[in-house]
Amino acid sequence: CSGTMELLMLENFIDGKFLPCHSYIDSYDPSTGEVYCKVPDSGKEEIEVAVEAARKAFPSWSSRSPQERSQVLNRLADLLEQSLEELAQAESKDQGKTLTMARTIDIPRSVQNFRFFASSILHHTTESTQMDHLGCLHYTVRTPVGIAGLISPWNLPLYLLTWKIAPAIAAGNTVIAKPSELTSVTAWMLCKFLNKAGVPPGVVNIVFGTGPKVGEALVTHPEVPLISFTGSQPTAERITQLSAPFCKKLSLELGGKNPAIIFEDANLEDCIPATVRSSFANQGEICLCTSRIFVQRSIYNEFLKRFVEASRKWKVGIPSDPSASMGALISKAHLEKVRSYIKKARAEGAQILCGEGVDRLSLPPRNQAGYFMLPTVITDIKDESCCMKEEIFGPVTCVVPFDSEEEVIRRANSVKYGLAATVWSGHVGRIHRVAQKLQSGLVWTNCWLIRELNLPFGGMKYSGIGREGAKDSHDFFTEIKTITVKY
Ligand code: NAD
């Protein structure tokens, strides 16, 4: 399980051991377009071995006290933190994001995920109530579900994977995790810390490979009663269909088409830089990124001018460049998909005010074939256009005017997604009124992406089913039972 001369060779981690695979998938460095890593192309066979290991580990792990499990999670957090720089370098190379982002967001949050659930597992209580007239006491207990199947995407690789592993094992489950085949390196690095932290063999198994092959083998395994999935809506649809015959417990965290609503009384000094960030952070590859900006007509021209100016200054560069705000997109296919939306917008008569190609970038020769593009701002576009309805998941945002509060709420709610919205206004009544009427699992007002991990995270409509957070994740990763005692 080590990097060979040139190509990094990953291996599955099952029952506390690294195991080679029969075949491998190429993994690309998004900033150069070169293959630099080989990811196991696992399937049913590997899932069978992992299920066996997870089943064997469950009785002992699930009967440990929350305090003991909490200590193991804290040790894991410490080990990750000690290797923060190494993990950040790996995440940035594998995903294309800036090293600054990996260093300040991805890896610190991965560490925090373990610390957070190490602490929150100590504070859950259950309910009780009595029926005096019948002499009955009722109470509830929560027990771990069993083997949890965890499937995560490529945009925030270790961050989102640990956001699932930590609550699952804190609650006493054993897990089989399948990271995205596009970004598997930090998950593989995490395996190296598991034994050291005292995670018993079989409690965390990580199996690499593609969705249709190993992902589906996990989803359809009868001994995996629970699937926690973060990814796209079409994949969630497939997972829902495949898991229906097994009546699996599902948590689905999906995409968004997130609106920002900017009223004429907004503080533009704060709003403009925050909206540039919410549109283009992590190359626009965050499910919470803003992709529809509704601006009240009286300030529309001023906002647009200043927003485009600020977007042009948002520097695209190689991931290790400390002055870059944006790195490379995840893959060639994704870059082409994102650019195809811009082409469609242009064909519909929309204006592209900045962005798109990389002709204005001066990249080192080695990075000329990397998957870079500029922050792109589209305007003069109809609400019915696919750029205003579908998730693009790249550095592309649309800016359109609106006239009234009622109208903008209706338009913001008119898409199939409902993940995150932002509202900018100086009027406290309006903020509450609008926030409460938006069909969105999260609403940030006069800010963006400030997370309180205790509170529910997730989307409405096609953005998902279920919520994650201290109580919500614990509820998902446990079964509740009501017990009645007649005294
Ligand atoms: P994706 O759906 O293509 O893949 C996600 C994961 O599912 C990967 O590990 C993939 O291998 C696996 N997969 C694919 N097909 C599968 C199948 N048939 N059976 C089982 N597993 C399968 O998504 P992506 O392109 O990796 O990620 C981008 C999407 O994720 C966007 O839509 C984004 O909005 C969403 N996302 C949502 C959140 C959230 O918290 N709501 C967070 C991050 C990303």
Span 161-171, mean pLDDT?
A: 98
430 occurs within a structural domain: yes
Quickly state the pLDDT bin for 2 (edges 50, 70, 90): very low
Order of strands across the sheet that contains 258-262:
351-356, 374-379, 396-402, 290-296, 258-262, 420-424, 442-445
Atom of ligand 1 nearest to the CA of 178: 9
Has residue 184 got a pLDDT over 50? Answer: yes
Residues 101 and 247 placed together within one structural domain of the fold: yes
Q: What is the pLDDT of residues 202-231, one digit of tens each?
A: 999 999 999 999 999 999 999 999 999 999
| Residue 243 main-chain phi, psi, to 5 deg | -90, -10
Rounded to the nearest 5°, which phi and psi values hold at 401?
Answer: -85, 160
Q: Which of the four pLDDT bands, split at 50, 70 and 90, describes residue 256?
A: very high
One domain for residues 380 and 410: yes
> Token digits for 106?
């991805």
Distance, C-alpha 7 to centroid of its chain: 27
Mean pLDDT of 426-438: 98
Query: Which residue has the least CA distance to atom 40 on ligand 1?
Result: 253
141's tokens: 């207990």
Q: How many angstroms separate the CA atoms of 189 and 183, rounded?
A: 12
CA of 249 to the centre of ligand 1 (A): 18
- Contact at 8 Å (CB) between 286 and 155? yes
Question: Domain holding 86: CATH number?
Answer: 3.40.605.10
Cross-strand bridge partners of residue 174: 147
Asked whether residue 450 is domain-assigned, the answer is no
Which element (helix H / strand E) includes 38?
strand 34-40
Q: What pLDDT, in 10s, does the model give residues 368-385?
A: 999 999 999 999 999 999
Phi, psi of 106 (to 5 degrees): -55, -55
Q: Which two tokens stand for residue 268?
A: 């533009």
* 71 backbone dihedrals φ, ψ, rounded to 5°: -65, -40
Same domain for 267 and 250, yes or no, is no
Largest CA distance in the chain: 82
Domain assignment present for residue 452? The answer is no
Mutate-to-test residue for ligand 1 from 232, 341, 396, 473, highest number of ligand atoms within 8 A of CB:
232
Mean pLDDT of 465-480: 97
Residue with tokens 């005096």: 132
CB 183 within 8 A of CB 94: yes
Residue 48 known to be catalytic: no
Between the CA of 211 and the centroid of ligand 1 the distance, in Å, is 9
Q: Do 80 and 13 fall within a single domain?
A: yes
What are the distances in angstroms from CA 71 to CA 14, 84, 454? Answer: 22, 20, 20
Task: Give yes or no for residue 82 having a pLDDT over 50.
Answer: yes
CA–CA separation, 307 vs 294, rounded Å? 12
3-class state of residue 307 by DSSP: helix
Model confidence band, residue 362 (pLDDT cutoffs 50, 70, 90):
confident
Question: Is residue 451 included in any domain, yes or no?
Answer: no
- The residue type of 58 is F
CA dihedral (275, 278, 282, 283) positive or negative: negative
Distance 235 CA to ligand 1 centre (A): 6
| C-alpha–C-alpha distance, residues 201 and 195, integer Å | 7
pLDDT of amino acid 363 = 87
How far, in Å, from the CA of 397 to the mean position of ligand 1?
A: 21
Average pLDDT over residues 466-481: 97
Asked if residue 263 and residue 236 are part of one domain, the reply reads no
| 456 in any annotated domain | no
Say if residue 292 is in the same domain as residue 165. no
The total of structural domains in the chain comes to: 2
| Ligand 1 pocket: which of 151, 463, 468 to mutate (most atoms within 8 A of CB) | 151
Active-site position among 253, 285, 391, 468: 253
Residue nearest ligand 1's atom 17 by CA:
211
Among protein residues, the one with the nearest Cα to ligand 1's atom 10 is 211
Residues 322 and 334 in one domain: yes
- Of 420, 423, 418, give the one whose Cα is nearest residue 405: 423
User: Residues 6 or more apart from 384 whose CB is under 8 A from it?
Assistant: none
The CA-atom distances, in angstroms, between 110 and each of 79, 103, 117, 157, 183 are: 11, 11, 11, 9, 15
In this predicted model, what pLDDT tens digit does every residue of 95-137 receive, in sequence order? 999 999 999 999 999 999 999 999 999 999 999 999 999 999 9
Asked if residue 3 has pLDDT above 60, the reply is no
For ligand 1, the distance from its centroid to the CA atom of residue 227, given in whole angstroms, is 13
Question: Which atom of ligand 1 lies at the shortest distance from residue 219's CA?
Answer: 20
- How much distance in Å is there from the Cα of 479 to the middle of ligand 1? 25
Chain centroid to CA 240: 19
Strand order in the sheet with 8-9: 8-9, 34-40, 24-29
Which CATH number goes with the domain that contains 323?
3.40.309.10
b/e sequence 287-304, b meaning 16+ C-beta within 10 Å: bbbbbbbbbbeebbeebb
Average per-residue pLDDT in the chain?
96
Tens of pLDDT, residue by residue over 19-77, are 989 899 999 999 999 999 999 999 999 999 999 999 999 999 999 999 999 999 999 99
Domain around 24 = 8-255+463-486
Q: Encoding tokens for residue 474?
A: 């614990």
Looking at the fold, whether 272 and 204 belong to one and the same domain comes out as: no
On whether both 39 and 75 belong to a single domain, the answer is yes
Nearest protein CA to atom 9 of ligand 1, as residue: 180
Which residue from 178, 180, 219, 465 has its CB within 8 A of the most atoms of ligand 1, so it is best to mutate? 180
Beta strands in 103-233 (DSSP E): 128-131, 136-144, 147-151, 174-178, 204-206, 226-230
For the CA of 180, the nearest atom of ligand 1: 9
Is 371 within the bounds of a domain? yes
Percent helix, strand, coil in the chain, to 5, is 45, 25, 35
98 with 71, same domain: the answer is yes
Tell me how far CA of residue 4 lies from CA of 8, 17, 37, 93, 106, in angstroms: 6, 19, 10, 17, 26
As a whole number of angstroms, the distance between CA 100 and CA 88 comes to: 8
The rounded distance, in Å, linking the Cα atoms of 436 and 114 is 32
The mean pLDDT value for 262-283 works out to: 98
Q: Which amino acid is at 148?
A: A
Alpha carbon nearest to ligand 1 atom 15, residue? 211
- Taking the C-alpha atoms of residue 341 and residue 191, their distance in angstroms, rounded to an integer, is 38
**Domain match, 298 and 409 both:** yes
Q: Strand, helix or coil at 384?
A: coil
pLDDT band at residue 6, thresholds of 50, 70 and 90? Answer: confident
Q: How far is the CA of 66 from the centre of ligand 1 (A)?
A: 31
Ligand 1 contacts (CB < 6 A) are: 151-155, 160, 178, 180-181, 210-212, 215-216, 219, 230-232, 235, 238-239, 253-256, 287, 391, 393, 419, 459, 464
Residue 4 is predicted with a pLDDT of 41
**Looking at ligand 1, which residue's alpha carbon is closest to its atom 23?**
231
Taking the CA atoms of 265, 267, 272 and 277 in sequence, report the sign of the dihedral they define: negative
Return the ligand 1 atom nearest residue 459 CA. 41
Same domain for 127 and 210, yes or no, is yes
Ligand 1 nearest-atom number relative to CA 209: 11
- Has residue 1 been placed in a domain? no
Whether 457 is covered by a domain: the verdict is: no
